Structure 1
Amino acid sequence: MASSAAPNKHTWQLSAILTGHQGDVKAVIAPTDSTVVSVSRDKTARTWKRQSTNTFSEERIFLGHSNYVNSVAFIGASEANPNGLIVTGGSDKKINVWDPEDASQPIYTLTGHSDNVCSLYADTDGHIVSGSWDKTAKIWRNWQCVYTLEGHTQAIWGVLELEHEVIVTASADKTIGMWKDGKKIKTVTGHEDCVRSLALLPGIGFVSCGNDGAVIVWSNNGDPLQALDGHTSFVYSLATLPTGEIFSSGEDRTVRVWQNGECTQTIIHPCVSVWCVATLPNGDIVSGGSDGFVRIFTRTAERVADAATLKAYDEENAAASIPANQVGDIKKDDLPGPEALEQPGRKDQDVKMVRVGNVVEAHMWSSAEQAWSKIGEVVDAVGQNRKQLYNGIEYDHVFDIDVGEGVPALKLPFNVTENPYTAAQNFLDKYELPQGYLDQVADFITKNARAVSQGEFASAGDPFTGGSRYTPGQSSSSGGSMGSYNPWGNDTPKTQAQPAVKRIVPQLTNVPFRDANLPAILKKILQLNTELASSGVALNDSELTQLDALIKFLSSPPKQPMPQPQFVSLLLKIFNTWPEANRFPALDLLRLLALYSQSPAETPDLLKTLLAATRTHETSLMLVARLVVNFCETELGKVVAVQDLEGTLEVMEDDAVWQSTNKNLKLAVATVYMSYSTLLLKRHDDDALAIQYVGVLTKILEKERDQQVQYRLLVALGNLIFGHESARESAAIFGVKEMLQSAVLSRATSEKIATSAVANEIVKLL
């Protein structure tokens, strides 16, 4: 594992942490020593450039997919494509091909798969092999599909090309297929569960891994040569080096290093799922995790991270929870105390459990460092039953949610280390269900699922601090449907017809932005502060102490808002003196502070100042929009928000906002409209303003196609029409009914229940 000790030729240590993704990092690749490409459930691909021996910065964000991006490959430079090409595949069934220097749009989009494209391979000639949940693999040449490989009975999770144009496929049907010229030439068996990934092993053959926890080495002919045993849960990804070393990553928080059949190092991660691992040409390795971080590890001294970063990383690992079913049966009373750590381990990576009070700690022995390192605290596992498979992914629970008579139950998948509110929000977003049911769905999850960590669910994060929006940690635990649940009635299973869905409009409650990964925000500010050390604007020791106090305040906020003007002053110093690109963590903390303190609202002209300074910077404007929404959580904040309403909405209706491809920005602004509409419901003297914004919302809705953004805009429009007679009368002038028919109702599908429902309610109001 990474540690602050000096590296040697056998020890991999943390080199860099790449922060920016908003969701799980599902695949990574490193075309050069200085370039990393990552893809994520946040629907983006990103490129990262080396800035120094142990730092990378985000270079470009590629936004061409409409759903999770799950796979990536790279085609080397050629005369036709001197920059090489990035290839990405996603849940939207598409394969996009990009110029690495141009993120504006894909050069090519390859269509043909009927489900998630979860694996990609590209050779030096530009040939692409893709694998999909549709049970097929496809071979693409000159951007056309030349072969479709059919024969597997389940999803294809891994693809590879061996010598002599032999294609290898790994499938959830527990088999490996070998193909030539579009025809299967061999079926390879040996895994006891789904096969997840493949990697070339030069001079020998290839390697496979799977849900059975096994890593198996095969010859080029598909003959088994060696099984590598060590992982304690699913193994998701593989990579190799010319040295013959094999790297595997999985659900047990680790990347494992193998050589000559032995595990030579276990690199612990502070996230449950290490989805992917790849190698750099210089011999370093890169991983992607369920916490949204990309991490690079090295055994070259000059590329090791600084001591502070190593210490923070070790502390993150030590604070993590380990499910008991990953370490076997434990009798707490029989465990030794911490004095047992005075004895050296029997071998490298030996794991020892010790009892410290009522807590069971896991420690790992490092032969290189001759020391034990705490790798986490062991918590009770949920059980030993298999997970449930939903859409090709394993979950601890898959709940049935009834939405009404004659409508099939909707599936809500859930892992016990997720935040139940995040899972509930994802469910509402997917099926476009009313936001008002968030608490009911989350409460149902909480009552029917047991957490792996010590009585708590994982904390949610913020997309612009490097944290993750959700952490689908899939520890082996009990699955099973808990029956069906109707969020519009009670939470007992239903078998008879359900009552009608309650009315959406008017929505009287605000929908604040509460999610935050405070450790990640703090870490980002400290990183930026270090980079600004010689600039004269860095925080001093006293201000850093105040920053720690702010994080503690937000970690355990009071039940009633309380004054905290010193925190506002600190954050405004960062905002006013730091470079524009570095302001966002301060804005993020300010929007959180507004939930629990009236001090932001008491600051004169705060919203006006922030809006004027951020209207041309998408990330900062998004965070200011979230701040406006959170203002509406306190009584004084509501007063100030209404006072600044016209100026705020003038910025929010700017064409640049609605022409942006940044969904987070548009969703935040749509929520501002929704928040203001709830305030205007109680202010019947603002008819002129209500009429004005019926026109603005109608214009925006004519073009906006994102369902979640559209839903919140529709609720805002519905509130205005419900609460103001003059707004209803003006709807005919603005063509609201015609807009709803063409932009919403004519495009209705079974997955757009809520947008259709609120549109129909508005039509009835008219």
Structure 2
Amino acid sequence: MDISAAGAGKVQIRLFTKQEQYALPDVPYTIDANVLPTDLNNLINTLLEQSNVKSAFFDFLILNQYLQGTLIEHAKNNNFSFENVIEIEYVEKYPAPEPQDCLLHDDWVSAVKTRGNWILTGCYDNTINIWTTKGTHVLTIPGHSMPVKALSWVSLNEKEAHFVSVSQDQTVVLWKWNIAENTARSLCIYKGHQRGVDCVDVSQDARRFATGSWDTVLKIWSTECQDENGDSFMKNASENCPTKAPLMSLQGHKECISAVQWIDSETLLSGSWDQTIKIWNLSLEGIQSEITANKSFFDVSYSPLNKLIITASADKDLRLYDSRSNQGPVIRSTYFGHTQWIQSVTWSTTDEHLFLSGAYDNKNKLWDLRSTKAPLYDLMGHSDKVLDVDWSNPKYLVSGGADNTVRIFKSKKALKTNE
């Protein structure tokens, strides 16, 4: 039965799931074409109850796209016919993250980064702060002379941690935090950028890190600091903090580099206000490929799980790019929901479908890449624009904002998986 000719009518569907605990008999069902997701949810739970399976809430996918609205509307919007049995996948609904603590600062919070049970925050009062994921303040670290714009962990164990901070003061600093003594000191100051530094990311082996700046240059640095005798400052820090030059400088962007991320040991991703994303080959010290848009990129995030790039731009929309397309880098999907500029975006590290965004509309939004018209959840709490989001620890979605706060949301799913 063709949808354009049939009107609402009756249609045949087949329900299936990859979650074996909720599997139903593989038989077709006849339903009304005006069925809503809530109706399908009730149908499945009725069938599950007959098999003594505990009820749950589900979302529904047709051709790998979330069903939003009626089945007949979905068919019209996605140009598929009702002539054949419609395959509908059902997945357990991702639970809403729970609001946790609000971490108060003295100025805008422009950088957040979680590892293990610790959260690093960078602030417009030029300080770095360390917190527990339970909301306890641990340490304030002065050192920069202008706002801290980005942070990245280098290493962490029970005794000590190393991390990198970048600032509008044009410097990059490698820090050592003695956890037992709760003291921090700088190990190296990295100089070479001619304007404020906006982003940083540490390589997977923790031996190098990359920074992007308003001077339009991407620089690669070593995390290994050595004194005149060749002794490593990573192992035995000197009181005299040495200054280091970059290992490599990569030129190609024309405006501020707003995001940088290691894809692998020899490949870097960068996003810029010049409306381009560049993928760099470090072995060749040059550009491997490029994505061009008509909006400045404020943030980009690459997922090693699905090999896709999600972007935050100088408009209200998020865009999903596939840099591996045979037709060149193309937009796979556009996501609508924010009402002002989107400042920050990051993928889940454990689920290839999920990502988090933060915007000037004071909201964080949790998305599934298969749901383009609406996020899974709005994460409320900020009273001013969101400047940075982080999901490095699967248990915690963290954001910093111009309301001088960090907001923490706990993922119920990650908690249930890990417990």
Please tell me whether the aligned partners of residues 216 and 254 of structure 2 are also in contact (alpha carbons under 8 angstroms): yes
> C-alpha separation between the residues in 2 aligned to 1:38 and 1:116?
18
Structure 2 residue 296 is the aligned partner of structure 1 residue 194: yes
> C-alpha separation between the residues in 2 aligned to 1:84 and 1:302?
24
Q: Alignment partner of 1:73: what SS?
A: strand
> C-alpha separation between the residues in 2 aligned to 1:270 and 1:56?
16
Please tell me whether the aligned partners of residues 111 and 121 of structure 2 are also in contact (alpha carbons under 8 angstroms): yes
Please tell me whether the aligned partners of residues 97 and 411 of structure 2 are also in contact (alpha carbons under 8 angstroms): yes
Pick from 92, 96, 101: which aligns with 1:11? 96
Match of 2:355 in 1: 246
Q: C-alpha displacement at 1:225, in angstroms?
A: 2.4
Question: What is the CA deviation profile of residues 286-323 of structure 1, one whole-angstrom value per residue up to 9, with x for unaligned ones?
Answer: 010101111100243999xxxxxxxxxxxxxxxxxxxx
The structure with the greater share of residues assigned to strand is: 2
Please tell me whether the aligned partners of residues 261 and 270 of structure 2 are also in contact (alpha carbons under 8 angstroms): yes
Match of 1:257 in 2: 366
Q: C-alpha displacement at 1:231, in angstroms?
A: 1.5
> C-alpha separation between the residues in 1 aligned to 2:336 and 2:155?
34
Pick from 12, 30, 36: which aligns with 2:119? 36
Pick from 71, 90, 94: which aligns with 2:171? 94
The change in CA–CA distance for 1:24 and 1:223 in structure 2 (over 3 A counts) is same
Please tell me whether the aligned partners of residues 250 and 286 of structure 2 are also in contact (alpha carbons under 8 angstroms): yes
The change in CA–CA distance for 1:194 and 1:301 in structure 2 (over 3 A counts) is closer
The change in CA–CA distance for 1:77 and 1:13 in structure 2 (over 3 A counts) is closer
Match of 1:283 in 2: 395
Q: Alignment partner of 1:36: what SS?
A: strand
Match of 1:273 in 2: 385
Larger Rg: 1
User: 2:275 corresponds to which letter in structure 1?
Assistant: K
Q: C-alpha displacement at 1:201, in angstroms?
A: 1.4
Please tell me whether the aligned partners of residues 95 and 413 of structure 2 are also in contact (alpha carbons under 8 angstroms): no
> C-alpha separation between the residues in 2 aligned to 1:69 and 1:133?
14
Q: Which has the higher contact order (CA 8 A, sep 6+)?
A: 2
Q: Alignment partner of 2:138: what SS?
A: strand
> C-alpha separation between the residues in 1 aligned to 2:266 and 2:414?
40
Match of 1:63 in 2: 142
Q: C-alpha displacement at 1:9, in angstroms?
A: 4.5
Structure 2 residue 334 is the aligned partner of structure 1 residue 227: yes
The change in CA–CA distance for 1:301 and 1:224 in structure 2 (over 3 A counts) is closer
Question: What is the CA deviation profile of residues 647-690 of structure 1, one whole-angstrom value per residue up to 9, with x for unaligned ones?
Answer: xxxxxxxxxxxxxxxxxxxxxxxxxxxxxxxxxxxxxxxxxxxx
Match of 1:533 in 2: none
The change in CA–CA distance for 1:136 and 1:283 in structure 2 (over 3 A counts) is same
> C-alpha separation between the residues in 1 aligned to 2:414 and 2:275?
43
> C-alpha separation between the residues in 2 aligned to 1:195 and 1:229?
16
The change in CA–CA distance for 1:253 and 1:183 in structure 2 (over 3 A counts) is same
The change in CA–CA distance for 1:201 and 1:45 in structure 2 (over 3 A counts) is same
Match of 2:241 in 1: none
User: 2:107 corresponds to which letter in structure 1?
Assistant: G
Q: C-alpha displacement at 1:13, in angstroms?
A: 2.3
Match of 1:47 in 2: 130
Please tell me whether the aligned partners of residues 204 and 219 of structure 1 are also in contact (alpha carbons under 8 angstroms): no
> C-alpha separation between the residues in 2 aligned to 1:30 and 1:220?
28
> C-alpha separation between the residues in 1 aligned to 2:332 and 2:369?
12
> C-alpha separation between the residues in 2 aligned to 1:266 and 1:73?
26
Q: Alignment partner of 1:167: what SS?
A: strand
> C-alpha separation between the residues in 1 aligned to 2:212 and 2:196?
9
Question: What is the CA deviation profile of residues 101-154 of structure 1, one whole-angstrom value per residue up to 9, with x for unaligned ones?
Answer: 264431111111111111010123221110111111111123651211111111
Q: Alignment partner of 2:305: what SS?
A: coil
Match of 1:133 in 2: 214
Pick from 319, 323, 342: which aligns with 1:216? 319
Please tell me whether the aligned partners of residues 179 and 186 of structure 1 are also in contact (alpha carbons under 8 angstroms): yes
> C-alpha separation between the residues in 2 aligned to 1:27 and 1:302?
23
Q: C-alpha displacement at 1:283, in angstroms?
A: 2.6
Match of 1:237 in 2: 344
> C-alpha separation between the residues in 2 aligned to 1:301 and 1:176?
32
Structure 2 residue 109 is the aligned partner of structure 1 residue 25: yes
User: 1:74 corresponds to which letter in structure 2?
Assistant: W
Q: C-alpha displacement at 1:269, in angstroms?
A: 3.1
Q: Alignment partner of 2:274: what SS?
A: coil
Match of 1:107 in 2: 187
> C-alpha separation between the residues in 2 aligned to 1:302 and 1:122?
24
> C-alpha separation between the residues in 1 aligned to 2:413 and 2:334?
32
Match of 2:201 in 1: 121
Q: C-alpha displacement at 1:172, in angstroms?
A: 0.7
> C-alpha separation between the residues in 2 aligned to 1:172 and 1:302?
34
Sequence identity of aligned pairs in percent?
20
Please tell me whether the aligned partners of residues 228 and 261 of structure 1 are also in contact (alpha carbons under 8 angstroms): no
Equivalent residues in 2 for 1:705-744, closer than 5 Å: none
Mark the runs of 5 or more structure 2 residues left unpaired by the alignment: 1-56, 58-92, 226-244
> C-alpha separation between the residues in 1 aligned to 2:406 and 2:286?
37
Please tell me whether the aligned partners of residues 75 and 124 of structure 1 are also in contact (alpha carbons under 8 angstroms): no
The structure with the greater share of residues assigned to helix is: 1
Please tell me whether the aligned partners of residues 76 and 124 of structure 1 are also in contact (alpha carbons under 8 angstroms): no
User: 2:337 corresponds to which letter in structure 1?
Assistant: G
The change in CA–CA distance for 1:57 and 1:136 in structure 2 (over 3 A counts) is same
Pick from 294, 298, 312: which aligns with 2:410? 298
Q: C-alpha displacement at 1:162, in angstroms?
A: 1.0
> C-alpha separation between the residues in 2 aligned to 1:285 and 1:14?
9
> C-alpha separation between the residues in 2 aligned to 1:120 and 1:287?
17
The change in CA–CA distance for 1:281 and 1:302 in structure 2 (over 3 A counts) is closer
User: 1:87 corresponds to which letter in structure 2?
Assistant: V
Q: C-alpha displacement at 1:271, in angstroms?
A: 2.0
The change in CA–CA distance for 1:301 and 1:132 in structure 2 (over 3 A counts) is closer
Please tell me whether the aligned partners of residues 167 and 180 of structure 1 are also in contact (alpha carbons under 8 angstroms): yes
Please tell me whether the aligned partners of residues 89 and 119 of structure 1 are also in contact (alpha carbons under 8 angstroms): yes
User: 2:217 corresponds to which letter in structure 1?
Assistant: T
The change in CA–CA distance for 1:302 and 1:279 in structure 2 (over 3 A counts) is closer
Match of 2:78 in 1: none
TM-score of the pair, normalised by structure 1 = 0.36
Q: Alignment partner of 1:193: what SS?
A: coil
> C-alpha separation between the residues in 2 aligned to 1:16 and 1:113?
36
How many residues align? The count is: 288
The change in CA–CA distance for 1:302 and 1:228 in structure 2 (over 3 A counts) is closer
The change in CA–CA distance for 1:195 and 1:300 in structure 2 (over 3 A counts) is same
More off after superposition, 161-170 vs 131-140 = 161-170
Q: Alignment partner of 1:252: what SS?
A: coil
Question: What is the CA deviation profile of residues 40-66 of structure 1, one whole-angstrom value per residue up to 9, with x for unaligned ones?
Answer: 10110110024xxxx321111111101
Structure 1 runs of 4+ aligned residues shifted over 6 Å read none
Q: Alignment partner of 1:236: what SS?
A: strand
Pick from 258, 276, 280: which aligns with 1:179? 280
